[in-house]
Amino acid sequence: MTSGSGTDGRLSKSRQNASPSEDVPLNEYRRSDRQLSDLLDHSYLGVLRDTLYRLSGFRLSLTDSNGQAISSLNCDSSSLQNQDRKILHEDSGRWSASIIVEGRAIGRVTIEDQRKDQVAEVDADADNTARQLLVLWATHLANLCNQAAQIEHRVDELSILYRLSTLLSAHRDLREVLDAAAKSAAEVMDVKAASIRLLDEQRRELFPKAVFNLSSQYLDKGPVVVEESELYRRTLAGEVVYVQDMANDPRVMYPEDAHREGLVSILSAPMIYENEPVGVIRVYTGEPRSFTQFEIVMLRAVAQLLATAIENARLNNEKIETERMQQQIQLAADVQRRMMPAEAPRIGGIDIASRCVPCFELGGDFYDFIQLGSQLGVAIGDVVGKGIAASLLMASVRAALHAHAEVIYDINQIIARVNATMVRQTLDNEFVTMFYGVIDPVSRRLTYCNAGHEYPLLLRGGEIHKLATGGMIVGVDESAPYDMGIFDLQSGDLLVIYTDGLCDALDFRNQRFGRERIIAAMHDRSNASAHDALNHILWQMRRYVGLNRSVDDTTLVVIKVD
């Protein structure tokens, strides 16, 4: 056929002109590959062919664009006569044929003999020809009406999907979207009622979240246990499930309630997102009804759109909650930073620098300076864990240390009191390592207690001294004893107090920065100020780990004796 060949020619040309990086749209291929049999109803083509043969004696043959005969158009005379009898009616010399669309008559075509005044009678052949033409007209009109009905269905489908998409893009509340979806689905499918049920987090029960035209009495049964309902179980498995009569189907739960509600047939479709069931949308009719394939496909499309909307709404809620939590964490981090000294104090002959670098917004490391008359208390600690819990425990330790340091003189007793407080207030898996020392600037004596903390390193004359005297970590054993150490400082001493985040920093090979590299960095800046020495140690650590993300807080206090 000429038109078919012309279509193929245009497609070939468009393919030839397409560049290698350019794809011809998929719908262009589909349109160009269509054949006559794809666009017209086969049974209708059969009626045309056989009616023409009976009227004229000419046999009609149909071929596609490739010249291939459409072999499926086999419509014998017996089936055609059966069809004639179904739609043809005779009443007092008047013949009428029903126009049947989607299984029901929507009108009639009627012919009547107007030649009664003529002498000659209409012969039997003419009468038969008229009836056949009548059937042909009725069939033709029914075919046109069917096409119009299909177009209306497509428009309805696009309309409901567009309306739902508009609701989603407006970022309305999820409940509003679901209510609108239930109502729209019921209206476009011309059913009595609709419902939407969503799975709980355990995926064991279905809760009603939106209904249209269902009474509260019908819904007061609460959630549906999935394992107890074959219909819902099959629907959640991916099937579109149909029930013709709810009152007499053994699979239906509460059939008496359905009868009282006036519900007869149901169609259920699964709402699935990324291969996981989310819920079920169900439509109900008030009379027995068989749903068309188009209606089944449309309900699936609505269900899929709703599944995406529900998950998007959940993600949006999670995003809002995450942003709210992030804001609260940021506020807590600001408070935590303000709890640490803004700048290190300077007392006679003692140069001090300090820095805390948390790996998250909130950390478990801390350092502090406590003014004790002419003396200065220096504290550094590392709470187990990270994040909010560690930051709260850190604040508790710091408060306890301040409270006891201001009223107790002996350092070992201060740490013992802090330990007892922490044991009573913390869980078994919560503990703290800490170092606390007091510097007398006049005598240059440092008294200290190391409670399970990384040994502070003191560089003097090229030699390293470790400040290890103390006891076990804080918060484990309420009766744990603690000892006090004494170290007399000298001019030129460089003391580095740090948390394990410094020596445990890892490079891309998962090798620790280690204590030896800290010592080497101290030797590099043995004559520098406390600030310069601190910056050099941190720089050496950062250069060592490279782009590796730090997994622990890093805190340093550097003291240089003039």
- The residue ranking higher by pLDDT, 207 or 334, is 207
pLDDT (tens digit per residue) in 79-92: 445 555 555 666 65
Q: What's residue 90's pLDDT?
A: 61
Instruction: Please state, for a pLDDT cut of 90, what percent of the chain lies above it.
Output: 45
Q: What's residue 340's pLDDT?
A: 81
Q: Is the pLDDT of residue 537 over 90?
A: yes
Reported confidence tier of residue 282, pLDDT bands at 50, 70, 90:
very high
473 DSSP assignment: P
Domain-wise residue ranges, the chain: 1-33, 171-316, 344-561
Q: What's residue 2's pLDDT?
A: 36
Q: What's residue 388's pLDDT?
A: 78
For the ranges 152-156, 161-165, 284-288, the maximum mean pLDDT occurs at 284-288
Q: Distance between CA 205 and CA 198 in Å, rounded?
A: 8
Q: What's residue 12's pLDDT?
A: 34
Strand 470-471 to 445-451 pairing:
parallel
pLDDT (tens digit per residue) in 214-243: 999 898 888 999 999 999 999 999 999 999
Q: Distance between CA 419 and CA 400 in Å, rounded?
A: 9
- Is the CB of residue 184 less than 8 Å from the CB of residue 164? yes
Q: Would you identify the CATH topology of the domain 171-316?
A: Beta-Lactamase (3.30.450)
Q: Distance between CA 270 and CA 206 in Å, rounded?
A: 12
Q: Distance between CA 355 and CA 558 in Å, rounded?
A: 9
Reported confidence tier of residue 258, pLDDT bands at 50, 70, 90:
very high
Give the H/E segment covering residue 155: helix 124-169
* Residue 322 CB contacts under 8 Å (≥ 6 apart), including other chains: none
Q: Distance between CA 151 and CA 165 in Å, rounded?
A: 21
Q: Mean pLDDT, to the nearest integer, of 294-307?
A: 88
Q: What's residue 207's pLDDT?
A: 94
Q: Mean pLDDT, to the nearest integer, of 441-451?
A: 95
Q: Would you identify the CATH topology of the domain 344-561?
A: Phosphatase 2c; domain 1 (3.60.40)
Q: What's residue 15's pLDDT?
A: 35
Q: What's residue 199's pLDDT?
A: 94
Q: How many residues are listed for the chain in this entry?
A: 562
Q: What's residue 129's pLDDT?
A: 72
Reported confidence tier of residue 477, pLDDT bands at 50, 70, 90:
very high
Q: What's residue 337's pLDDT?
A: 75
pLDDT (tens digit per residue) in 357-387: 887 767 778 899 999 989 999 999 998 877 7
